[in-house]
Amino acid sequence: MYFKKSKARTSAQQQALFDTGHHIGILAQSKYPGGKNAIFEFNGNWDMAIARTRQWLLNGTQTIYEASFSIHGCFAAVDILHHQNGQRWAIEVKSSTSVKDYHLTDAAFQYYVMEQAGFAPDEVFIMHINNSYVKQGELDINKLFHCERVTQKVRDMQMQITIKHVALQQC
């Protein structure tokens, strides 16, 4: 989630958390292999990532990593956008072991931006670490992660996301 008007400096501790999250995100992508990465060879050009995402969606690409959308100064990148059984799934990957309120806010914002951009997902999931998984032998990605459907919770938050977006535009 990213609002273009607010850029804060990142501390070393925050950067370490971001790096861990990035590594978890790469692992999570292997649960949906063969996808295209919208920020591949990324050079800070969000417009290119958005254009790639749009083109791939229109061409029927099954899985897009870091699917990127923008509307009215707001930008959102969905960790995994996957088509399953004729439905579009937005999957937000988290390195925590449960869904937190701020994860729901993040997913609700992504849903809002995707919907406003004309690509609303049918389902929204938070994929997080399964803390009951015990590795025995090779890593089993399907057991390492738990996907929790949060679609209705995210839809229920749309009014407050809209109000916050309008308020932020006034800044």
pLDDT in the model for residue 167: 62
* Rounded Cα distance, 118 and 159, in Å: 17
CB 90 within 8 A of CB 114: yes
For CA atoms 49, 75, 9, 100, give the dihedral sign. Answer: negative
Separation in Å, CA 157 to CA 40, 69, 75, 161:
31, 19, 18, 6
* Rounded Cα distance, 80 and 63, in Å: 7
* Rounded Cα distance, 171 and 161, in Å: 16
The answer to whether residue 169 scores a pLDDT higher than 90 is no
Number of CB atoms found within 10 A of residue 113's CB: 25
pTM of the model: 0.85
* Rounded Cα distance, 69 and 64, in Å: 12
* Rounded Cα distance, 117 and 123, in Å: 16
pLDDT bracket for residue 170 (50, 70, 90): low
pLDDT digits (tens, 9 = 90+) for 17-43: 676 777 899 999 999 999 999 987 667
pLDDT in the model for residue 45: 81
**Burial (CB count within 10 angstroms: exposed 0-12, middle 13-18, buried 19+), residue 59:** exposed
Which range marks the domain in which residue 88 is found? 2-169
What's the whole-number mean pLDDT along residues 2-30?
73
- Please, what is the Cα angle at 109 between 117 and 85, to 5 degrees? 65
pLDDT in the model for residue 133: 94
Tally of structural domains, the chain? 1
pLDDT in the model for residue 1: 44
pLDDT digits (tens, 9 = 90+) for 136-155: 999 999 999 999 999 999 99
Number of CB atoms found within 10 A of residue 83's CB: 16
* Rounded Cα distance, 45 and 161, in Å: 26
